[in-house]
Structure 1
């Protein structure tokens, strides 16, 4: 949508959809909401009030100039002030208070939206000029997109918390294994890898193409990037392939691991993907309170960057850089255009990608031929986040907007600095990602040790001369 297409009613529906997910994932007893299920994650009741506080900050105070709804609320729900492990000790709003708070905020937001002049969505001439911050926030509905994507991202975080939770399932239909019927069947896919020829492509976005106006600052500005020729796997690495790596002793062969990766493997005692165990000759996984055989035809998930890197070395391959990943995903070599999604600019559909938590797992490999990129690479959007070889940093010409804490504070302290333990880039989204919060240019990032996220990987290699 462009500014002329943005309507208050569409924004209200998108806000309602994100809130429905948040409420569904917190529709559990109060004790579970208050409990911290892992020091890696917040209590779910913190997430619930945090999304309301974020919405208040941006859709009330930034847009309307209103005063805080509750004294001290910002300090409690500042994600940078309080690490996740310490949040249970805070005087948090209780479940009923949190629900009341987010409902109050939403009511005021919708009232303000109704009163907003539709022309406010038109972009200013100079979005970063003096006195133009408010206009830049409203341009193309950006600030509403900021809040909608933020809430959907927290919904995915809530799902990761539920996956770490011990005990039986607590959500009901949202975690019903019968929902797997919503996923298409897999199929054999050939060739196993595709050649992406050397050349330039447009990486990132300026938010000027349909559906990209809500892109974050770290996706901007668009620029031309030359990428040498490379091969990339047509599909992500499967559970079967990673089980072979495990059974070949890959977790115990120091030669396959970087120095920092091996130190972490030893400290954490890694021996298989998180939630896997070997039982009576079969790999079993724990998935949202239920045990099941590991489906060998799905992409592997719950592996950290170090595990992905070690597997790649074992296979004689490497992880793709994020420039390689984005070129294979977005670039159309015929038109030279970079697509919003691998298949084009049209929104995702159930025939193209596994998104929106239609099932609680990745789809079988080969399930989405209609979602292939121009190069024939499949399942790049949805299913599992894919680790890349790249460190998370700003693009040349990066400008922080609307706040430094979304992206900039996670960059290396020096522009050209790299670190084996710095934040690594993930691409493509997972089965739990909402379609409004993903696109070819979207960049996610995390520590290389993180395994609770719904992440996997695919492999790449350099192209030899003559290929």
Structure 2
């Protein structure tokens, strides 16, 4: 019989580790620049960094100290200021935000009380406390805002503030450029992953016809060929909405790229460099990904196709947690957690490939899919409808797989991200697919 105390100790340790990892990253992202950079708005698409910092603390207080522990609010007067649904990002600099020192103190005080709470919480009794879900939810929330703050750092003008080692060079990939995923049913989503969020649930069967999918994400070199072939000037490859968007906004290349004579340069976290040909392309919107796929005679994979490629184990006829199996991600599997500040070369992480031989499905770049963000059959909002339910619909496209900016706690084979098809500041790339019957 399993020892309940051991289970509780394991859950407590996992919650402590993920919360501590997230806070260390938050501290790095908010301490590497001076206060004026924290309070400035570097893009109308993003909040000031200091808003994210206090919002992280406010959400942690609301869910763990007030909801789980039933304690009185520490600073109820700031709840409205840090309500993400009450104030759009462009308007947040006009709010009476906590200054950096006060925001740090507030987030730190909340965390101290949360760690005390963690020591005494019994991980059963309610859906929020079962398997330490609420603590996992807050760790994921903080890591998602860390990713958002990293996007802000990329948009920020000025000298380099963040550094990290580059990924190891990848050996030349000598295998096929695409992989056949056999047709048939598979289990999509999850009903057992303890910290999975509501839009990942419940597990359900999906029938997927056979298809081919790229072995790796599309590279800068491949995307450059699309540019050089006049891809941005030929309306044949674009949806009407995409064509109107790129023409109306004079888009001719991925965000942060610029042409310098015969070569392309990009700006990456304050450094200008030659675009590396073997890296997955980054900072493209859904319209650009879709146009490239059409130009290449292919298409974007559906969300169900992407997940089957990432989770299906033909030998065991089951769905795994990750492409490599059920073990949590390690540095040998994927480029996650801001360990590097760029994608790894295409073909990296052979230990992280799927049983069918597809690589880099987790980490490196978020991958656009063809699918709208919609609920699974039997979806139930939990613990609040604003996390997922209010976003369901054709306005948002699904991205899968995470990126180098995503922590492992917020990235699973079932994890779903979504955004508007015009978004390019996010760490987005893609891979293409084709139906098995296509030439």
Aligned equivalents of 2:368, 2:102: Cα separation in 1: 38
Which of residues 91, 95, 100 is equivalent to 2:105? Answer: 100
1:120-153 alpha-carbon deviations (Å, 9 max, x no partner): 313x5xxxxxxxxxx1100011000000011011
1:348 is displaced (CA, Å) by: 1.2
1:315 is displaced (CA, Å) by: 0.3
Q: Secondary structure at the match of 1:136?
A: coil
In the TM superposition, 1:48-447 aligns within 5 A as: 48-116=53-121, 120-122=122-124, 135-171=126-162, 175-176=163-164, 179-180=165-166, 182-206=167-191, 208=192, 212-412=193-393, 419=394, 422-447=395-420
Aligned equivalents of 2:252, 2:423: Cα separation in 1: 15
Task: Tell whether 2:16 aligns with 1:12.
Answer: yes
Which of residues 27, 33, 36 is equivalent to 1:23? Answer: 27
Which of residues 44, 50, 56 is equivalent to 1:39? Answer: 44
Contact 1:251–1:271, Cα closer than 8 Å, also in 2: yes
How many residue pairs end up in the alignment? 434
Aligned equivalents of 1:65, 1:358: Cα separation in 2: 37
Aligned equivalents of 1:279, 1:91: Cα separation in 2: 43
1:2 is displaced (CA, Å) by: 11
Contact 1:2–1:213, Cα closer than 8 Å, also in 2: no
Q: Secondary structure at the match of 1:26?
A: helix
Superposition misfits of 4+ residues, deviation over 3 angstroms? none
Q: Secondary structure at the match of 1:390?
A: strand
Q: Secondary structure at the match of 1:296?
A: coil
Query: What is aligned with 1:450?
Result: 423
RMSD, aligned CA: 1.5
Aligned equivalents of 1:220, 1:143: Cα separation in 2: 16
1:137-180 alpha-carbon deviations (Å, 9 max, x no partner): 00011000000011011111111000001111123xxx24xx11
Aligned equivalents of 2:14, 2:344: Cα separation in 1: 30
Contact 1:304–1:449, Cα closer than 8 Å, also in 2: yes
1:8-41 alpha-carbon deviations (Å, 9 max, x no partner): 2432232111100001000121100000000000
- Which blocks of at least 5 consecutive residues in structure 1 are unaligned? 125-134, 413-418
Contact 1:189–1:366, Cα closer than 8 Å, also in 2: no
Contact 2:48–2:92, Cα closer than 8 Å, also in 1: yes
1:269-315 alpha-carbon deviations (Å, 9 max, x no partner): 11000000110211110000000000000000100000000000000
TM-score normalised per structure 2? 0.96
Q: Secondary structure at the match of 1:76?
A: coil
Aligned equivalents of 2:259, 2:67: Cα separation in 1: 52
Contact 2:12–2:132, Cα closer than 8 Å, also in 1: no
Q: Secondary structure at the match of 1:140?
A: helix
- Which blocks of at least 5 consecutive residues in structure 2 are unaligned? none
1:72 is displaced (CA, Å) by: 1.5
Contact 1:183–1:359, Cα closer than 8 Å, also in 2: no
Contact 1:321–1:388, Cα closer than 8 Å, also in 2: yes
Aligned equivalents of 1:429, 1:10: Cα separation in 2: 21
Contact 1:183–1:354, Cα closer than 8 Å, also in 2: no
Aligned equivalents of 1:215, 1:455: Cα separation in 2: 22
1:185 is displaced (CA, Å) by: 2.1
Aligned equivalents of 1:321, 1:228: Cα separation in 2: 11
Contact 1:273–1:301, Cα closer than 8 Å, also in 2: yes
Q: Secondary structure at the match of 2:273?
A: strand
Q: Secondary structure at the match of 2:79?
A: helix
Contact 1:232–1:461, Cα closer than 8 Å, also in 2: yes
Aligned equivalents of 1:10, 1:166: Cα separation in 2: 37
Aligned equivalents of 1:184, 1:51: Cα separation in 2: 36
Contact 1:354–1:383, Cα closer than 8 Å, also in 2: yes
Q: Secondary structure at the match of 1:423?
A: strand
Contact 1:330–1:341, Cα closer than 8 Å, also in 2: yes
1:177-207 alpha-carbon deviations (Å, 9 max, x no partner): xx11x4342422421111111100000000x
